[in-house]
Structure 1
Amino acid sequence: MNLQIAMLLGQDGVTNGAIYALLALSILLVFTVTRILLIPLGEFVTFGALTMAAIQAGHPTALAWLLLALTVVDCSLDLIDAARASTGFRLPRRVPIKLAYALIMVALVRSLPLADLQMGLQTLLTLALLVPLGPQMYRLFFQPIAGAHALVLLIVSIAVHVAMVGVGLLLFGPEGAQTRPFSDAFLEIGPVMLKSQTLWVIVVSLTAIIALFLFFERSLYGKALRATAVNRMGARLMGISPTLAGKATFALAAFIGTLSGILIAPITTLYFDSGFIISLKGFVGAIIGGLVSYPLAAIGALVVGLVEAFSMFWASTYKEVIVFTLIIPFLLWRSLTSRHVEEDE
């Protein structure tokens, strides 16, 4: 291995590590606030990439109909809750708003010249279609059992993942897809030519990480989510809704997952079932951070990306084994240094 090969592998490692860092932060965020390991996070990555590819090809994506169907179920549950309220039936304001939003998305997908839209508008349309699925997922599958044991939440999360893989096959088919890069320019650094898409991934990932930091440190809603993560009962006593916190974290996770899919779609071909391995590598980064530390999770995800890239050169057949073996020493260290505390019911 010479310097040029090492720099090329390092470029790939940092690019992948930036995506894994975003996913690790999402997994950590959802877990600390809701105690849910978000296994279906990878499906937002693949759905984002495949939806973007369909829009660029000018095909009206069927994902809009999935959004409408889940919105109808969501609104039906809201109406049932309103009918059971002791104060009498009152139509929730959010019901017509959510239905109108879903119908507008269906109309836009069916009427717009999708292939002729600018890249920025295609990205916004993809995010607008997918981000609402995050709160809907929490409302339909996790909110009714929010107080259940963590193992029950994990089982439900796995079930949702399996269902979403099937939905992905139904919506997008078995063929893979790759999107156009944001830019075709190159940046020459010594003997290495950096693709502009690599720079886009790194810059957008860093911007998202900094924005998340400012959100949690400076905004009122961010501090409320942090309070829920630190002490759920105390946050509830202070008037912070656990339901709102759960929906907000799932919305952030859906946004980050979809954005990650849009960023890596020009670099690699993604299939309907590619998301699980991608999110699992982000999970390895979150494990390195002990599922408690955001900076350590981001650093761990970057390490995962670099190890994966150099494993491709030295032992490509075993690269997945090498990456996932990374969690073993950290799990051993955590088991030896942490005391077991019974979960408060």
Structure 2
Amino acid sequence: MDFSIASILMLDGATNGAIYALLALATVLVFAVTRVIFIPQGEFVAYGALTLAMLQLGVVPGTVWLLLALALLAALLDAVAAARRGLPPAAIALAVAKVLLWPLLVAAVSVWAAARQWPLGMQSLLTLAIVTPLGPLVYRLAYEKLADASVLVLLIVSVGVHFALTGLGLVFFGAEGFRNPSFWDARFSAGALTLSGQTLIIFMVSVALMIALFLFFERTLRGKALRATAVNRLGARLMGISTSAAGKLSFGLAAFIGALSGLLIGPTTTMFYDTGFLIGLKGFVAAIFGGLASYPAAALGALFVGLLESFGSFWASAFKEVIVFTLIIPVLLWRSFQHGHADEEE
């Protein structure tokens, strides 16, 4: 291997690592706030890429109907809960309207815009508007009532949600793969190294999103509420912070990050309905580097995972996935020896 090949592999690894870093940050965020190991994180990646692919074909994506179905279920549960509390009909109607307003608006815009072939940027924004609300709805329907359950129970629920979303992805998008058009077709050469415009976009968007998340947690009231919930759920409740709202917000951010990641990698690889699982799992491996608690360590772990995958595909392409996922074993052993054994809820 000469320097030119190594530089190409490093660029490819860093590009993939930027995506894994976003997913690792989302995984750490969700676990810190809700104690949920969010296995379906990768499904939002696939949903983002494939929803855009359907809009490119002029077809209303199935995620629109999923959004409406989940919103109707959530609205029904909210209406029943409000009725049991003895709220007046006007308050019940307001609670239902809050849940249904955005999904109905997004569905109407999607049906109207699907056949009109909007520009790629507008379709991408519509994709984010469709997929992002799925996160809070998934939390409301699958996790909210189990917020105080053990981590193991929440993990089992995550496995069930993963299989459900994967199966729905097959129904919505079929078994055929799709590759989206690039957001920027420019190419820049430096010796043997060629840098595409899409790669630059991936780097710029990833860095911008990390900075935005840092400012969100440091400067905004909602971000500080999420940090407080992550540090001490009971203490956050005593201070008047709604842990349910914090859970919905964390899942919304995770869905947004997943959908955005799908938009970024859609032009660089062919996406299938189940491709997101492997991508999300690599983000989880990166999150393990940070002990599901440290954002900087998770980002560095993601870069290492991307580089390891890139060089592993060069030396042993048939075993690149094995190499990446085997990496989690020594990391877990090291953390086990470093921190000892603690109770599950600690």
Name the TM tier (shorter chain). over 0.9
- Alpha-carbon shift at residue 341 of structure 1 (Å): 2.8
Residue pairs, 1:190-201, within 5 angstroms = 190-201=191-202
- What is the Cα deviation at residue 2 of structure 1? 1.6
* Partner in structure 1 of residue 109 of structure 2: 108
Which residue of structure 1 aligns with residue 128 of structure 2?
A: 127
Count of residues in correspondence between the two structures: 345
Output the CA distance in 2 between the equivalents of 1:144 and 1:197.
Answer: 41
Q: Matches of residues 36-75 of structure 1 in structure 2 within 5 Å?
A: 36-75=36-75
Aligned-residue RMSD, C-alpha: 1.4
Aligned residue for 2:189, secondary structure, equals strand
2:79 and 2:95 in contact (8 A); partners too: no
Residues 293-336 of structure 1, C-alpha deviations (whole Å, 9 max, x = no match): 10000000110000000111101111111111111221111111
Report which stretch shifted further, 107-116 or 15-24: 107-116
Report if the CA contact (8 A) 1:78-1:92 is conserved: no
Residue of structure 2 equivalent to 1:203? 204
**Superposition deviation, residue 248 in structure 1:** 0.2
Q: Matches of 1:153 and 1:5 in 2, distance apart? A: 44
> What is the alpha-carbon distance in structure 2 between the residues aligned to residue 297 and residue 94 of structure 1?
38
TM-score by length of 2: 0.97
Identical pairs, percent: 55
State the Cα distance separating 1:217 from its structure 2 match: 1.0
Shift of 1:62: 2.1
Read off the aligned partner of 2:318 and give its amino acid letter: T
- In the other structure, the counterpart of 1:304 is 305
Give 5+ residue unaligned stretches, structure 1.
none
Per the alignment, residue 321 of structure 1 pairs with: 322
CA distance, structure 2, for counterparts of residue 115 and residue 201 of structure 1: 27
Alpha-carbon distance between aligned partners in 1 of 2:164 and 2:74, rounded to the nearest angstrom: 17
CA contact (8 A) 2:151 2:345 kept: no
Q: Classify 1:102/1:87 alpha carbon distance in 2 versus 1 (closer, same or farther; 3 Å).
A: closer
One-letter amino acid of the counterpart of residue 38, structure 1: F
| Structure 1 counterpart of 2:316, one-letter code | A
Paired residue for 1:342?
Answer: 343
Segments of 4+ moved more than 3 angstroms? 86-89
**2:156 alignment counterpart:** 155
Q: How does 1:1-345 map to 2 (within 5 A)?
A: 1-86=1-86, 90-91=91-92, 93-112=94-113, 114=115, 116-343=117-344
Deviation at 1:58, TM superposition (A): 1.3
Q: Using the TM superposition, give the Cα deviation of residue 61 of structure 1 relative to its aligned residue in structure 2, in angstroms.
A: 1.4
- Listed one character per residue, the Cα deviations across residues 267-307 of structure 1 (whole Å, up to 9, x for unaligned) are 00010011111111000100011111100000001100000
Change (3 A) 1:116 1:86: closer
Verify the 8 A CA contact 2:60 2:114 in the aligned structure 1.
Answer: no
> Structure 1 residue 183: deviation in Å?
1.1
Q: Structure 1: how far apart are the matches of 2:95 and 2:183?
A: 36
